[in-house]
Amino acid sequence: MSERIEQIGERLEGIALEVVTLEAGDIPALGNLMNALEALGADAEGLDDPRFLQVAGAVKGYLEKLILADATDLEPLEEGVTALQAFQRDLANGETPQPDVSGVLQKLGKAGTGPQTGAEDAGAETSASEQDAAESSEEPVEPLPSAADLSEEDRQILQDFVGESKENLEAIEVHLVNLEQEPEDLETVNSIFRPFHTIKGVSGFLNLKDVNKLSHSAENLLDKARNGDLKVGEGIIDLVLESVDTLKRMIDEVQEGLDENGLLTSTVDIAPLVRKIDMVSEEQEKWGDSRVGEILLRKGAITREDLDGGLERQKIQPGRKLGEILLEEKKTESKEVISALRDQRRYSKGHVDLQVKVDTVKLDNMVDLTGELVIAQSMLRQNPYITGSNDQKLYHNLGQLNQITSGLQRIAMSMRMVPIKSTFQKMVRLVRDLAKNSGKEVALEMSGEDTEIDRNVVDELYEPMVHMIRNAVDHGLESPDEREAAGKHRRGTVLLRAFHRGGNIVIEIEDDGRGLNREAILEKAISRGLIPEDHKLTDVEICNLIFHPGFSTAEKITDISGRGVGMDVVKKAIEKLRGRVEINTRPGRGSAFVINLPLTLAIIEGMLVRVGKQRYIIPALAILESFRPSREQYSTVEGKGELIQTRGSLVPLVRLHTIFGVESDFEQPWEGLVVAVEHEDRKMCLLLDELLGKEEVVIKSLGGGLRNIKGIAGGAILGDGRVGLILDMSGIFDVAQGNGRPSH
């Protein structure tokens, strides 16, 4: 039963992370959430407390209302998930869940539209049957396209289209952000036009009519903008963004049809959006072909008055070119006009980078095989027949093999490294929408977008970053009036930085808002019984309380954040990537969340240590120092156990041989060695027998049966072919403090 409860907890963590980033109307995300809830219901069958299934069923019912658009409020959904998490935590701790679920059930049951009367239902059925009869009398229509009717070759073409379209739509979003900052930049308009043109052409070939129709309308709108018939403004950009979001949903439905071997048609009604685009195209007045003029204006070669005057004269003399008019009126010089014409030609031609696309499965397999090659090469070097040989030519060949293997490993890992730029630029769109919804003025400043990180880390990092950005805008930044009253600029700033430090990547999310309210955090923690009133917590420990499940100090719940679903999930998502998150805050001046992550999930740098006959790897990120303690540095304190004095403070001593049940060479701490480690501002000293050296090892999974061992993150095959266990600092701390125990 305990394994099932733990599995339910993992399932709920994934559901909570989905809910944190969920938006009403996002049908693909709602569908994924429905699948997860159905799996949760299957996991929860047979639990002793029937209320868990009751709440889970109510959450699923409310999700159906969201999918059918009978409800739009996400608050009941998030409260239901929070209640389920509270249930699971009590069950995992062996306690009887106490919360009253009547309020949550009432919200989940009553939210949405009011119930229909029987007469209305009957009327709806009659209307539907009459409609069916009317349609049956018409001429037979073309059957809907289905994935089941496709050949394997056609399925592959369609799958390639889905992948390329998603990449194109992401590229459009990035360029739209740039266009909003420089709406007169024709190169950016062309960069947005080309992906729409590609989607339109391929979707037409594949007979995806709705995708083709919407992309064609958006393409026409952009074509008029680049020809000077439309002036790009906020309204045009919003329309294109809406088109991107709609196309994403439609392409996701195509993917679902492929996965389920079902229909490839979209359920999205594009008619209102197409009408809106066509209306803008028809009603916007032509404001003149000012492409050369806009380039000159942007370069500072002419003023806005010069450009407007030239356009007015061009209307009177339509055969004249704008450049000639500006030269004749001595508004600019010929070299400036020539430069603008060259820029115009370059914009129209565009630029396409040649790339080779590789299936990610093949890439991951190549990285895995390279790791195996590194292990095999290390084992060969340590083979006793090799080490006992005096053949210099053999050693020379082994040296060459070592160089080749190392180079191959570096290249293989670099192929899986991607710039974090794409993730950062998605945050620009997020901040724009959040600022508009919250009524705040927010500027997002970014640096280090070209910093590279493992592709798998980037994929896992997106949702935690979304939630932290949401918190920065909603909780961190004040309203414009509050900022002005506090002597700040009305516009708040969110800083997003990435850089490498010591073999790791550091990501900082900082705002210049009000900072964390330590008093409010303490008051909330005491009221919930998380800490005693006579606590002696440091500032860092107080701030870390916000990572406790369900913790929130928000006085007002908004549609952006504040329900307590998320920060604990963020912390667990970062720890799953073998990283850590730290908080720096200054009252009235803002907060900074600092995420430290390994560059890759495939290789870890650590210290190889020995305890008895077993060997373990301590991640280098957690190590502070290693030393042999003296007898004077060792002491015991009643209620706190064994302690080691280091750098002026007493640090708890943890005996690894006791935790893992192995025999140690030494019993007294001053006979062995200790390694001081840190995790979330907590420190401890690990007692061990020997330091074997610093190594980079290829991480191997321990398999399904051993993956949940407390204190162990994975394994690594060492040079002599034996397995070393990689220590998980979070689990070691929990075991040492009596919050869990390793399985043997």
Active site residues: 197, 219, 471
Contacts made by residues 7-10, CB under 8 angstroms, sequence distance 24+: 7/43, 8/40, 8/43, 8/44, 8/88, 8/91, 9/88, 9/89, 9/92
CA distance 674 to 634: 11
- CB atoms < 10 A from the CB of 556, how many? 6
Encoding tokens for residue 134?
């009317």
What kind and span of H or E run contains 286?
none
Instruction: Measure the CA–CA gap between 480 and 478, rounded to whole angstroms.
Output: 6
Concatenate the DSSP letters of all residues of 211-225 into one string. Answer: HHHHHHHHHHHHHHH
Q: Is 696 in contact with 641 (CB distance < 8 Å)? A: no
State the SS3 of 155-201: HHHHHHHHHHHHHHHHHHHHHHHHHHHCCCCHHHHHHHHHHHHHHHH
Determine the Cα–Cα distance for residues 139 and 612; give it in Å rounded to an integer.
83
The CA distance from 468 to 434, in Å, is: 12
The encoded tokens of residue 49 equal 């407390």
Distance CA 391, CA 180 (A): 68
Identify the DSSP state of 146. B
- What number of CA atoms fall less than 13 Å from residue 268's CA on the CB side? 29
DSSP class per residue in 452-506: EEEHHHHHHHHHHHHHHHHHIIIIISPPHHHHHHTTS-SSEEEEEEEEEETTEEE
Give every strand in the sheet of 673-679, ordered side by side: 623-627, 673-679, 682-688, 649-655, 641-646, 634-637
Residue 673 φ/ψ, nearest 5 degrees: -125, 155
β-pairing verdict for 614-619 and 723-727: parallel
What would the two tokens of residue 130 be? Answer: 């009459």
Q: Considering only CA atoms, give the Rg of the chain.
A: 31
- Residue 170 and residue 136 in contact, taking contact as beta carbons nearer than 8 Å: no
**Angle at which helices 234-260 and 271-283 cross, to 10°:** 150
Structure tokens at 282: 């028809």
Instruction: Give the CB-side neighbour count of residue 165, counting CA atoms within 13 A.
Output: 29
